Amino acid sequence: MTQLPVVPNWFTVEQVSPTLTLIREPHTKPVLAANTWVIHGRDRDLFVDSGLGIASMRSCIPEFFDREPALVATHGHLDHLGGAHEFAEVWAHAAERIERPGRGSLVPGSLAHVLGAPDGIFGDGVLLDAVPEESYDWGAYELRPVVPTRELAEGDVIDLGDARWEVLHLPGHTPGSVAIFEPEQKLLFSGDVVYDDGTDMIDFLAESSPEDYQVTMRRLLELDVDTIMAGHGERFGRERLVELAERYLCRVGKPKTYAG
């Protein structure tokens, strides 16, 4: 097994605003370098995704668990769901089935098999460049299944006391992909529905649907949004959202009409 260096601090924490924090795992390879967002509400805090679960957020950054937060799982891939078992409340769309076992690996070939991706798509080396402790066995990594405590659906509202977030069901990347939207701030947390990391949207996995993705992209073009906090890469504005959505639609084909 490849020996990797040990890093003392697995997570980086960026205070984006008084009500928003970005948590990252900088020692993962780019394909798994996902964003974990923490929205600090008046009445409670909300995590949007939970990283790989390689190190414990509850142990490494315990201050974020002083008020027991809830977790919105935008979808069920390992880089967004890995830490979900640390949360008392996990909210996900029913179509995502995050309770299934055996959904993750840090070995590229095994991960491709699990996700139904083409062979070689994730390279040929371990998907980390460091480990959180010397005894960590990256070859034994598994995504721990989680039973949702709340099933999210299109139109649901998440009330944090000082803001009400609307749930949008936006399938394509996965069947149960969701985003949350705050219409007054015109702010969208998009998960992997749309992101800007220099690559095309992933629609080639076993559970992906380019047809559904076209509908989702057309819907995003019509959404009155100013800022997108994505599951990968940097945050971006509406102009870039339009570019990304139109590029996808041009690549894949003419979309069908969103039916609600």
Residue 2 lies in a domain: no
Q: For residue 14, which amino acid is it?
A: E
Give the model confidence (pLDDT) of 68-112 as tens digits.
999 999 999 999 999 999 999 999 999 999 998 878 999 999 999
Give the model confidence (pLDDT) of 201-260 as tens digits.
999 999 999 999 999 999 999 999 999 999 999 999 999 999 999 999 999 875 444 433
Closest CA to 179 of 40, 72, 88, 19: 72
Residue 202 lies in a domain: yes
Secondary structure percentages of the chain, helix, strand, coil, to 5? 25, 25, 50
Give the chain's mean pLDDT. Answer: 94
Residue 3 lies in a domain: no
Looking only at the bridges linking them, the beta strands covering 150-152 and 89-93 are parallel
Instruction: Record the tokens describing residue 233, joined without a space.
Output: 């890469």
Residue 112 lies in a domain: yes
Give the CATH number for residue 109. 3.60.15.10
Residue 83 lies in a domain: yes
When divided into structural domains, the chain yields a total of 1
Residue 68 lies in a domain: yes
Domain that includes residue 76, residue range = 12-252
Residue 1 lies in a domain: no
At 210 the pLDDT is 97
Residue 223 lies in a domain: yes
